A and B are shown apart, each in its own frame.
Chain A
């Protein structure tokens, strides 16, 4: 049964990649992309939990009796919309940081701060 836990492992791998990008990349813009990868990995984790073998999409129909769990789908729908809202706030912050420091590299920003003191 390779596929039994495979979804979860890939979700964890994607989470690790997103986490790595957030820590290791010094460009704030790339950090936002890393956060997005992290978020999507959580979506895949939840949707995998809701899957039922032999089930179909949770839309009532007389032809089917087994459906996948609709609850994770609802939670993730909310999460997707909220994630875009937070991405927009993050990018607005990045734009105003770039206007002030003329760079998006966190180490250069740190240096400029030290020079000002």
Chain B
């Protein structure tokens, strides 16, 4: 039953993505992008990744869409959506996808409890994190304790991105001031 739900949701996701290619209207592209994020959040719930699901729903579907819509409002509504070099792009993408699909042929099946990804460090997180860190949510335990430095790096990235955005958006005002002089 769960398999059928996952296959149905993944197919919906693929249809949404294909629809984005053929859209001519920028607003519908943005809205379909938002639907795409929300659908992937639902898939994360079915795949047991609840923390990822609510982050994706809040950040991916929420904040991203707000960012896209505000950038769309600033850049103007008369965007022309054109595609060029369709054939070259299609061939490149098909070759890449074919190579990757060939590579999946020796991957362990989804849900296999004996797959290499399940048998190394994950077992320790599941068995020990309750007594070592003392909170029931393993994802939080790994994020904030075992891999705290990763999270510190993430904060550094977000901070750098914020500075970059501010610099890019404020630079224009200086140019305007120069022109007024």
Contact = CB atoms under 8 A, between A and B. Distances in A.
Main secondary structure of the interface of B (DSSP, over half): helix
Interface size class, chain B? 35 or more
A75 B74 CA distance: 33
Contacts of B115: 49
A30 to B, nearest CB: 6
A5 B110 contact: yes
A95 B81 contact: no
Contacts, number: 279
B168 to A, nearest CB: 4
A15 to B, nearest CB: 7
Interface size class, chain A? 35 or more
A80 B33 CA distance: 15
Interface of A: 1-10, 12-21, 23-27, 29-30, 32-34, 36-37, 40, 43-44, 47-61, 66-74, 76-78, 80-89, 91-96, 98-99, 104-105, 107
Interface of B: 3, 6-7, 10-11, 13-14, 17-18, 20-21, 26, 29-30, 33, 36-37, 40, 43-44, 47-52, 55-56, 59-60, 63-64, 67-68, 71-72, 74-76, 79-86, 88-90, 92-94, 96-97, 100-101, 104-105, 107, 109-113, 115, 117-118, 121-122, 125-126, 129-130, 136-139, 141-143, 147, 150-151, 154, 157-158, 160-162, 164-165, 168-169, 171-172
